[in-house]
Structure 1
């Protein structure tokens, strides 16, 4: 019987996302990842190398999924409030990504960023689209593209990074978080639409 490498790799990535999001890179266990995936643990080493390399692959793959699900290019860059709402929706459906980023920050601190070039390329395309929207006047130039993108990412993700804090501050008003986010980003982007 032929081995389905792509399927096995995907099973391992899916299991690793859950394991790393739940336990972080230090406490994550490769044997649990392999068991969840239903794959021999040796396949992890064969496909990804060690645990650090698997964590880097999980971060890159998770970012690719977000970039595919919530693009920001061309005309989409002009509607930053709608983009923020879509990022918020993505995090609601996939809360593991925010957890992975926080684990990375806690685990690595100021150390070199895993898969930096590959991951930065996703953001470079978004920054280019925002710069083009600023150049054609559909977005204000008061903030750099990097400042705008970072602010939107932070505003959209923070609701899921600290849900208890959001509940303490917003109380019953947390149900309107998405609408509030879209309004805030509209102000930031100098528009009143969305």
Structure 2
């Protein structure tokens, strides 16, 4: 056997094997590169999808939040409007009741005032009448006292009945005048009348 040919044959076989390994490695590397690209693309697609989903979710949440706030605001406005309306109705009702009560109180006060006026008027009239009676009584007693003081007339003169009083007064008047014509009894009687 030729050693040189053997060596050459082995060398060729080894080189062929190395070429095959090299080729397989290149194919594997290429395959891995493609796989990496695929994985990278998939990751990018997933990231984009996630980002879009997040954006959509954020937009949806934002819209939902805005709708919720709008609904709450509308409900609050409606509630405030209702409260304001009820407050106005209550205020109007209170005002009407207060006005009615005030009118009733005023009417009652007016009635009481009229009653008091009438009562005081009656009291005043009665008092005037009573004072008049007292004045007449005092005048009569003063007249009797003057008769006793001046010594004019007899004791029965002061007891003369009213229908003869004019004659008696005339007589007494002439009897109680001093030398200058000054009537003492008439002056005192007038003073008593003006005092009362």
Q: TM-score, normalised by structure 2?
A: 0.21
* Structure whose residues are more often helix by fraction: 2
Highest Rg: 1 or 2? 2
